Amino acid sequence: MAIVYVLNGPNLNLLGTREPEIYGHDTLDDIAGQLEDRARELGLEVDIRQSNHEGHLVDWLHEAQAHDAKAVLLNAGAFTHTSIAVHDAIKAIRTPVIEIHLSNPHIRESFRHVSYVGRAARGTIAGFGALSYLLALEAAARF
């Protein structure tokens, strides 16, 4: 069965309680359950991870390629706007990466308008809350 890595960056472990007016009330576990259900329907397996540490995301991107993952869904959190290391890791692998955001960064603070992840990713899905993850999974299923 093809596997899709779902990688989540800093502070996403606080979903559901962290600024719910921006990020919604779904927890990361809620989103994981939705993804697992939909992945089964699509004949996929998901490997869902979260870390507050940049190096873990880089290592997991490398691992996704080493394990011949179908795709990576990446919500890099704040690293989206700061991490050249994550950008370079995406560029270094063949595995397609889809950038995900719960909110729309372009209508938020100006520092969120720059995405190093987006400059390297296959595409971006943003602004649809937890649905952003499911939309990205649908796209990944078509690779």
**Catalytic machinery residues:** 23, 101
Q: How far apart are CA 33 and CA 35, in angstroms?
A: 5
Task: Note whether 75 and 12 are within 8 A (CB).
Answer: yes
What is the torsion angle, in degrees rounded to the nearest 10, for the CA atoms of residue 30, residue 34, residue 36 and residue 42? -170
Q: How far apart are CA 78 and CA 93, in angstroms?
A: 21
